[in-house]
Amino acid sequence: MPEQHLSQIKGKNVLITGGCGFIGSEIVKQLSQLEANVTIIDNLSSGKEKYIQGLNNVNLINADILDEDVIKTAVKDKEYIINNVALPFIPDSYDKPRKFFDVNVNATINLVLSAIRERNVKRFVHISSSEIYGTAKTTPMDENHVTLPQSTYAVSKLAGERVVFTMHKEHNLPAVIIRPFNSFGPNITQPYIIPEIITQILKGDVVKLGNLAAKRDFTYVSDTARAIILSLVTDGIIGQVINVGSQKSYSIKELVELISEIIDKNVTIEMETSRFRPYDVDVLICNYERASRLLNWKPEISIREGLKETIEWIKKENFTIKSSYTERYGLE
């Protein structure tokens, strides 16, 4: 991260929603190291307070992002806002579409309106998702790639993104939109594919998965968080949409082979059609040229190095996959 950008965030008041979750807690950690004053709104339905324990200049508001009074109070005197909250696990969205639109769209509207009223907000960074693109028509995928979301989750993320962009145009909201591709690393809160594979390999000799041919672009979480922080303080990027990814893709089968090699364990891979998504994305590969040009960003952690760190964290934490929506969120 360029030195001049580091100095800009020191002592500044930053609000982040979902700051106890997977990507959020890494953002908070890096902001704390940069000596920013960080306020988190998180209801801890999936995030964990222990992920931010011991960090300096961090204040947690344990509240629901849909509570407008909480949002109005939290936004006061904040110069920088990161809208990171989301219900992110795609299979859950099939059965809980209303919950996904409440959190991923309506909560965004609440936060945006409060930011507009609080006139000293210098930057509003909204975290979207590469899933809004749908299956790649051309690769690597830049920010002008057509958006054809293929899940309720992806539709809700695109809707939230369009709310932010429209408010930028209508009300001069100083917004930047980040579209991360698949992130991975410690402090996991959801049964994403990489922790799913790792836990299955650690527990047995057979790995049971769905679509083994699906390809994804994976970025280590610290690299994703660094790009988001850069988007807070980089000049000349208001109104921009920026992809964050590695520009490399791996099939699910290739991931299993790589992880089993790192763990040093031979496994049998079984494909179960019952695990297939009803409307799956076949290929996602990021073009991060805009992030490189505007943010002076590129991924620094290789997938092998990141997987080693993730495996060690899962072993240390004795992490297990919670498969049901209710288990993870406590919601009905």
What's the pLDDT band for 329 if we cut at 50, 70, 90? low
Spatial separation of the C-alpha atoms in residues 46 and 119, rounded to whole Å: 32
User: Given this model, what pLDDT does residue 325 score?
Assistant: 47
Q: Which residue would you say has higher pLDDT here, 188 or 261? A: 261
What's the pLDDT band for 165 if we cut at 50, 70, 90? very high
Spatial separation of the C-alpha atoms in residues 285 and 264, rounded to whole Å: 28
Domains within the chain, CATH numbers bracketed: 3-190+218-247+282-301 (3.40.50.720)
Spatial separation of the C-alpha atoms in residues 26 and 18, rounded to whole Å: 11
User: Given this model, what pLDDT does residue 228 score?
Assistant: 98
Q: Are 39 and 15 in contact (CB under 8 A)?
A: yes
pLDDT of 179 strictly over 90? yes
Mean pLDDT lowest among 33-37, 310-314, 328-332: 328-332
DSSP lists the bridge partners of residue 16 as: 40, 82
DSSP string, 66-123: T-HHHHHHHHTT-SEEEE------HHHHHH-HHHHHIIIIIHHHHHHHHHHHSTT--E
User: Given this model, what pLDDT does residue 6 score?
Assistant: 61
Average pLDDT over residues 69-77: 96
Mean pLDDT lowest among 232-236, 303-307, 316-320: 316-320
For 225-249, write each residue's pLDDT tens digit: 999 999 999 999 999 999 999 999 9
Spatial separation of the C-alpha atoms in residues 170 and 29, rounded to whole Å: 33
Cis peptide before 97 (omega within 30 of 0): no
- Quote the DSSP letter at residue 59: E
- Mean pLDDT for the chain overall: 93
pLDDT of 75 strictly over 90? yes
For 244-299, write each residue's pLDDT tens digit: 999 999 999 999 999 999 999 999 999 998 888 888 899 999 999 999 999 999 99
**pTM for this model (two decimals):** 0.94
Name residue, tokens 């760190």: 309
DSSP string, 187-231: S--S--HHHHHHHHHHH-SEEEES-TT-EE-EEEHHHHHHHHHHH
